[in-house]
Structure 1
Amino acid sequence: MQDQYENIISKADSLLIVVAHPDDLDVMAGGTIARARSQSIPVRALVCTNGAFGSRENDIPLEKLARMRLEEQRNAVRHLGMDTDELFILDNEDCTLRDTDHALIERIAFHMREFRPSHIITHDPITIFKKQRKQFHFINHRDHRAVGGAVVNAVMPMARDVSFFPEHRKKGLTGIDVKKILVHDSYDGEIFINIDDFIAQKIEALLSHSSQFDDMTVKRIMMMNDANAEKDTEETDYWERFRYYELER
């Protein structure tokens, strides 16, 4: 695998990551974010649900879990070198998101117009069944697909064209034409970012989500990031993978 960090991420003026749930950004891009922050690249994160339904237990009140997950996510981004002032969590419920929801697209467009990112990381809006390594198969959560689709709809045309969301103009915001997008959750990754030097930060971020992950779950996540996981070696080789699109101007 060839490390594409210098060719893509290091050239970012700023990086906006838009995800569905608290913990998604740490799972899919925690190492990449930490590496970008080590170069002082500005990073903003928008989480589109409060995560209140994110439990397989029945005895945690929704309001309590939402508060827990907010605090967990704040702690997690600190481990990645982010300022918590650049973390925004919307108060939407799980499984209510739609990629055509104007309220959701408006929030994404607002953060695009205010933060002015050169690059966006988000979910793959198309992939339903995904595979990571031979032994890991998943269904891509409907909220992931919805958020990825809403980001695409914001990028073109609703954050770009100033006629959409005219209330933004009253706040001095103008349209933005983002051309570089990285998506996670694809069946196959197209580009790879090496995170060997930032793996400790990613693990600490993941462990911050104690309502979601125990030590074994974190180890399983890290196996999916380890290119040597299926090889007869004790050496590790950690990467995050994305599909990368550089749009025509």
Structure 2
Amino acid sequence: MSTLKYALITGATSGIGYELAKLFAIDGYSLVLVARYQEELDTAVQTLGTLGAPKIMTLAKDLFDTQEAYEVYDEVKAAGIEIDVLVNDAGQGQYGEFIETDLERELAIIDLNISSLVILTKRFLIDMVNRGEGKILNVSSIAGKMPGPLQAVYHGTKAFVHSFSEAIRNEVKDKGVTVTSLLPGPTETDFFNKADMNESKIVKEGSLASAEVVARDGYDALMAGKDKVVSGMKNKLQVAMSNVTPDEQVAQMMHNQQKPSDE
């Protein structure tokens, strides 16, 4: 078995996942990078390989298909690699009123954002607990702390991720393993393009956080063993306000933020 420290990162070729991979590489971790397309993985390796990662393994897997989440675990184990840090970053959303959006895409998003995350977490967490050490970073969102009209399913999935992370953290708190939830706000990634959300007010008129800054916040919280981190002062204030505001009012505020900019 390898004696190297390994971090496995899903959604590793762009956005927050890629920035996290860079931080792990700089700190001397070997990497297992998971993303849908081999070409994008190969491009990421060219940069990450210059930052200090001793070894890099790539797995081209489509985590919309939950069977491929099982395959990630099986192939990592077959390679004789023990994962010291698991980062569940892969996730997508869909924009629009729930009665008008595509149900099959939403069910696929639930599989990606929730089911595959649960599969990977369970498989690698069992190994970590058996060894008595390990860390998991689950990328949730401030969306998980408030209802989100026009992104109803996405907000619901991120609420699951955060609640799930806090629960299993409690279960393993005395077993040498920490679980951290990262809650960014709107961030400069390809998320809005994939969600067909580029015309929304939150994109057109808002200020998007740097994926590099969000990744650093998440990385520092993970390494410190914290339960969660809300990235960005503005987002901290928004979450704090939502905690003391009736959900119906929060939903309306979110609707106003996320509606098309020409309305």
* Short-chain TM bin: 0.3 to 0.5
Structure number with greater CO (CA < 8 Å, separation at least 6) is 1
TM (normalized to structure 2)?
0.42
More helix by share: 2
TM score, norm. by length of structure 1: 0.43
